[in-house]
Amino acid sequence: MEKRILGRDLEVSEIGLGCMGMSHAYGTVSTEKEAEALIDKAIDCGCTFFDTAEIYGTAEDPHHNEKLLGKILKPYRNKIVLASKCGIRFDETATTVNKPLIPDGRPETIKSSIDGSLKRLNTDHLDLYYIHRIDPTVPIEETAGAMKELIEQGKITHWGLSEADEDTIRRANKVCPITAIQNRYSMMYRDYEKLFPVLEELGIGFVAFSPLANGFLTAVYNSHAQFEKPGDYRSMMPQFSDEGIKENKEFILWIKLLAEEKKATPAQISLAWMSAKKLYIVPIPGTRKVSRLEENMKASEIKLTKDEVKAIDEMLDNIPMSQVFGGSKIQKK
């Protein structure tokens, strides 16, 4: 698999692995054996970029994902780029499947969080550390200042923002140069394309989470009843509702036909389209299945021309599609 450069010379594989689903939001939690098989295969496929967060866990073990990766990735640590995130917690009083998020970007929270993550991940530093969501009650300059201190201390080598807008990016970058933003991005959620000019101006990479619209762009779902309960966020996502599946019928047919033309799968077309748009975009699809992981990683072998990308964009601008999950509600502290 080819390499890509995010900001500040951070080299990663063209496609990374989002590890959240092994522990959080997609129903049954992966066993250590299942997760190890998945990560071993990712390494075999040339993946070097692994993404987690301190909040990815279960009710019984809130930090399950970092602990899991800390065990499995230890033998590979000097060969990979390891990213994690801090700065949010769940509202545990909520009864919804996807509990609201409470942001906390205070410097003291960041400094406390990094020590916990390093311990759980069995490492002395993180290659990339994000603020998971922007805290509107804390000036982003203070948050960036705390990240700068962590870099100076050697606890992290790069930092970034998740779900950030242009003003926040510019202000934070002045205090401590940003390596990457991690925002939601897929064929069904293109809102952040407006950030491309500022990212290019400042030399910042774009890590795309939910690049397959939470799995919808695999084009294998045709019934809302397929999702496990409790704990599977897809049970409340609009694209997976019975109405959403009907609204997306033409869109899914189109992407299947396009995939057939390219001798690929719909998921591979989705990832190849994203990679072809900008060389600083790196998608991090998640999965718990080895077969699906292999499919995703092989998307790097599919090359789309500028004209093909333009034609896809034009189709996406005009074809009917449903609303898509835009993230858990952000709640004030």
C-alpha span between 137 and 105 (Å, rounded): 8
Q: Which two tokens stand for residue 34?
A: 């299942």
Who's near 45: CB < 8 A, 6+ residues apart? 1, 293, 294, 297, 298
- What is the DSSP secondary-structure string of 151-166? HHHTSBS-EEEES--H
Answer yes or no: 189 catalytic: no
Cβ distance 143 to 131 under 8 Å?
Answer: yes
Q: Is the peptide bond before 136 cis (omega within 30 degrees of 0)?
A: no
Output the CA–CA distances (angstroms, integers) from residue 314 to 128, 145, 151, 253, 261, in the order listed. 34, 41, 42, 16, 18
- What is the DSSP secondary-structure string of 26-92? BSSPPPHHHHHHHHHHHHHTT--EEE--TT---SS-TTHHHHHHHHHSGGGGGGSEEEEEESEEE-T
46 φψ region: left (φ > 0), alpha (ψ -120 to 50), beta (else): left
Q: Is 139 helix (H, G, I), strand (E, B) or coil?
A: coil
Q: How many C-beta neighbours within 10 Å does residue 237 have?
A: 23
- Among the listed residues 26, 56, 185, 280, the single catalytic one is 56
Cβ distance 292 to 215 under 8 Å?
Answer: no
Q: Which positions are catalytic?
A: 56
